[in-house]
Amino acid sequence: MKDDSQVTIRPETAERLDALVDDFVGRSADYYRKVFAYVMEAPGYRFTLNMAAGLLGPVWFGARGLWNWFLGFMILETFALIQIGKGLFGDLGREQRERAASIAETLELRRQQIAAAESSGSGSLDALQRAAASLETALADAQAAAAQADATGLGFLAFGLGLLLLFKFAAAALANWTLEGQFARWRSDRSVAHGWSPQRLMVACGLFAVTGILSMVKFAQPDAFALLNEFPTNRNWRLNVGDGVQAAFDWTKDVGRGFFDSITYGMRTLLDAIEVVLVQTPWPVVALVIVMLAYLSAGPRVAIFTGAALAYLGLLDFWEKAMTTVALLGAAALISISFGIPLGIYCARRPKVFAVVRPILDFMQSMPSFVYLIPVVAFIGSGKPAGVVATMIFGSPPVIRFTVLGLQQVPGAVREAAMAFGATPRYLLWRVDLPLAAKTIMAGVNQTILLSLAMVVVASLIGAKGLGEDVLEALQYAAAGQGILAGLAILFCALILDRIVAGKSDKAT
């Protein structure tokens, strides 16, 4: 019976493969033909040794265009070179000698005090002598520790050489396997780096030399070059740049005073309208509507939990602040969703626009939440409108990203079929794209709401009121019990909103 695991390559196929190997490797083609044939006989890793890679280390990987492996082995061999540098010319007893010098200065001061006490007949002479004796012992110990540390140079040298040999053996053992993997990628994509490039070799040598030499000098002789210890800078540069940024903020605030005032007025109007519904409406009506909404959206279990959570808020006197928090959250989330979904649709249909919008979204999500408060307070001032704007900036990116993702995941065959039946662009959007992307878009809405709620405590720093104010007061006065109760209130608000929105998302599918 024929063994199916053995595949016979026809001569013309083998010749073509050899030609590809020759074109890929550039040099030492005979060696790599044999090695690649051996490595490709079975899937996975097969042990081989590449002596050139072992000798050159990361430089070999760089010359071959394997920059990920170059970086890894450069870090490993640099660590080994640091140990070798410490063993050859390292100042290993530096810290102990500095400690001994400090003790010697103190001991000299005590001796001067002892001489003065002897001449004056002071009663503190015995205490000074005992202190001097203790310092002499400490000085001797520090000097002995410095000498002992200097004697460990051979140990560092042996350890570094052992590590270097180990890393070079690993490089030799992995080189052919990694190069064969790159050869497989190159066969399907000719833009993949191939051959032995002198330019890449020079770049790799330069990077490795700079990294290895600077690291060895820094760790072996820390005081040799002050430039390696501190980045060359000037404090006045930061002060001047900060003054320039402040001037830009002031100019923008003065020029756009009307614009920022209109934003503040619009935010306050929206907040007042939502607070009329949530705060001034009788609490039984608000609670009943929320429970019914939870029941219709997510079922009876969520409705029961919602009722219990609302009871917690009411019985512990969190009701009004919770409704104020939900009003602030609702205003921010409403603006974020109303602005984010259309922008996401526009970006999904125009990749060039999304390429511009994506870095802005990355910036909005990467910026620490406290930093948002600086420009918001500078342009809008403190209070609830500023809290809405900060929350909106922090919570907008998810709904935009998820909308783009959902529309991009709509199967192309479905869209083509709809267009084949004469669907207009408007019909295609509303009846095909959005229904199929609804689950992903609702997940983005859910994330926007929860991220907006996460800003409640931060927004309280600029006078946004609500439950975040209680948490902030608990932190200021170390009132752990009150802080935990307020935190649980925020948690229950988040869980209610999450379950309601998630329930709608499940029904959409």
The rounded Cα 14 to chain-centroid distance in angstroms is 48
pLDDT value of position 320:
87
Number of alpha helices (DSSP H) and beta strands (DSSP E) in the chain:
23, 0
What is the average pLDDT score of the chain? 85
pLDDT value of position 507:
45
Report, as an integer, the average pLDDT of 316-330: 86
Residue of 45, 37, 46, 41 lying closest to 5 (CA atoms) = 41
At 156-180, the pLDDT tens digits run 899 999 999 999 999 999 999 999 9
Is the model's pLDDT at 126 over the cut of 70?
A: yes
> CA 456 to CA 387: how far, in whole Å?
8
> CA 445 to CA 332: how far, in whole Å?
12
Residue linked to tokens 């990361």: 58
pLDDT value of position 1:
40
Q: What are the angstrom distances between the C-alpha of 442 and each of 235, 337, 394?
A: 48, 10, 18
Domain boundaries, the chain: 11-90+154-228, 94-151, 253-508
- What does pTM read for this prediction? 0.69
- In CATH terms, the fold of domain 253-508 is MetI-like fold (1.10.3720)
Report, as an integer, the average pLDDT of 395-407: 91
pLDDT value of position 268:
83
Report DSSP letters for 369-434, one per residue: HHHHHHHHHHHH-SSHHHHHHHHHHHHHHHHHHHHHHHHHTS-HHHHHHHHHTT--HHHHIIIIIH
Report, as an integer, the average pLDDT of 13-42: 86
Report, as an integer, the average pLDDT of 180-184: 91
> CA 76 to CA 80: how far, in whole Å?
7
pLDDT value of position 205:
95
Is the model's pLDDT at 123 over the cut of 80?
A: no
pLDDT value of position 3:
47
pLDDT bracket for residue 414 (50, 70, 90): confident
> CA 364 to CA 393: how far, in whole Å?
7
Dmax over CA atoms of the chain, in Å, equals 113
pLDDT bracket for residue 94 (50, 70, 90): confident
> CA 456 to CA 245: how far, in whole Å?
28
